[in-house]
Chain A
Amino acid sequence: MAFSMAGGGARGPQINVTPLIDVLLTLIIMFMLVVSMDPEYGEKAQIPQPNNTPKPTEPGPRTIVIQIVLAQNGQPPSVKINRQDVRWEDLETELTRIYISRVEKIAFVRGDADVDFQYVADVIDRAHHAGVQRIGLMTKDLAGDAD
C-alpha cells in the first residue's frame, strides 16, 4: 500500500480569468479610442496689425477695449470696458447691449502683464458669446492709451 504525495490527482478549483482579460482589453481599446478622438476646443482671436503712422493714435470712440486690471491683495482682477468698471457677472450683458446695434462686431482685449491667463481667456469667451465676432489681442500698449 503506497500512495503518492506528488501531483497527478484532481487539481484544485481555479478562477477563470479569461472574462477578466476580455473586459480589460475592451476597456483599453475604449480608452485609446476616447483619447484619440478627444476634440480640441479653443477661442478664436487675432493679433491686430500695428499702426504704420509715426505716432500711435488714441482708439476711436467706437473702439471697444476690454481691459483686465490686476487687483491688489490677491483679489480677482477687475475688468473695464473703455476705462469704465464693469462687474464680471455683468460683462456679457454689457457687451451684448453695446454690440446689439453695431455692424462691426470687433473688440480688443488688453490686460496687465501679471494677470492670470484664465481671466483673459474668460473675457474672450464672454465677448464671443455676447456677439463679438473678431477679437484682437493687444500685445503692445499704445502710448496714448495708457491709464
Chain B
Amino acid sequence: MGTVVAMVRHRSPKLFSDFNNLQFVAVFGSVLFVVLLFLMTDSPHYHSRSYSVDLPKTLHPVSMPWANRDDAMIVTVTRDGQIYFGVNRIVPAELPERITERLKDQSVERKVYIKADMRARWGAVKLACDAAHQAGILRVGVLVDKKRVSAF
C-alpha cells in the first residue's frame, strides 16, 4: 500500500495533493452522511429475514432471542392480509408444506413466530396459525414491540 502511495506521489504530485482537498473530503462526508441517514430512518428493514410490518405494542412482552436466528420460522401477516414465510409471499395453503419442509432440519426450532401487523385482521392471523398447526406446530411466538410508558 505504501509503495502504491509512493508511486502515485512520485508520478503525480498533483493527484496526491487532490486527494486531500476539501472537495474530495466533502463528497466522502456526504456519502457517510447519507449512509447514516439511511441507517437512522430505515433500520427496521435491516431485518431482512422477514417482511417488515408495524408490530402490535404491548406492555409486558418477553425477550425472544431465537426469533433473531437465521433459521427462525417467521410468518408475517401484513395489514391487508397477505402472508409471507420469511421474505417470500405465499398463499396460506402453501404454508404447512413450507413449514414441514423446514422441519426436516432437526436443528430448526419447533416454533413458528407470528409477525402480524397491528392492524391486520385476526381472521388473517388465524389462517397463519391454522397452517402452522397443520404442519404440527403447537408453540407460537407472537412478535410484538415493547410499549414505552411515558414518565409524564
Task: Give Cα A113 to B123, complex, Å.
Answer: 4
- Does B25 lie within 8 Å of A18, measured CB to CB? yes
Residues of A near B46 (CB, < 8 A) are 35-36
Cβ proximity bits A32-65 to B, threshold 8 Å, 1 near / 0 not: 1011101111111111010000000000000000
Total number of B residues with any Cβ neighbor in A under 8 Å: 51
From residue A70, how far is it (CB to closest CB) to chain B in Å? Answer: 9
Residues from chain B with Cβ under 8 Å of A42 in the complex: 61-62, 64, 67, 113, 141-144
Q: Are A24 and B58 in contact (CB under 8 A)?
A: no
Instruction: Name B43's contact: one of A35, A45, A113, A116 (CB within 8 Å).
Output: A35
Closest to B111 in A: A44
Of all chain A residues, the one with the shortest Cβ separation from B128 is: A139
A85 contacts the other chain (CB 8 A): no
Smallest CB–CB gap between B12 and chain A, Å?
Answer: 17
Residues of A within 8 A of B103 (CB): none
- Residue from A27, A36, A45 within 8 A of B36 (CB atoms): A27
| Residues on the B chain within 8 Å of A47, using CB | 129-130, 132-133, 137-138, 140
**Would you call B9 an interface residue if the criterion is a C-beta within 8 Å of the partner chain's C-beta atoms?**
no
Least CB distance from A51 to B in Å reads 13
Assuming the contacts A28-B32, A40-B67, A41-B63, asked whether A17 and B123 have C-beta atoms less than 8 A apart, the reply is: no
List of B residues within 8 angstroms of A119 by Cβ: 122
Residues A139 and B129 in contact, CB atoms below 8 Å apart: yes
C-alpha spacing A44/B16, complex, angstroms = 60
Q: Which residues of A line the B interface, CB within 8 A?
A: 14-15, 17-18, 20-21, 24-25, 27-28, 31-32, 34-36, 38-47, 49, 68, 111-122, 124-125, 128-129, 137, 139-140
Selected A-B contacts with CB under 8 Å, 17 pairs? A17-B29, A21-B28, A21-B32, A24-B32, A24-B36, A28-B36, A32-B39, A39-B63, A42-B144, A44-B142, A115-B121, A116-B119, A117-B116, A121-B142, A122-B56, A137-B129, A137-B140
- Report B's interface with A, CB cutoff 8 A: 22, 25-26, 28-29, 32-33, 35-36, 39-40, 43, 46, 56-65, 67-68, 77, 113, 116-123, 125-126, 129-130, 132-133, 137-146
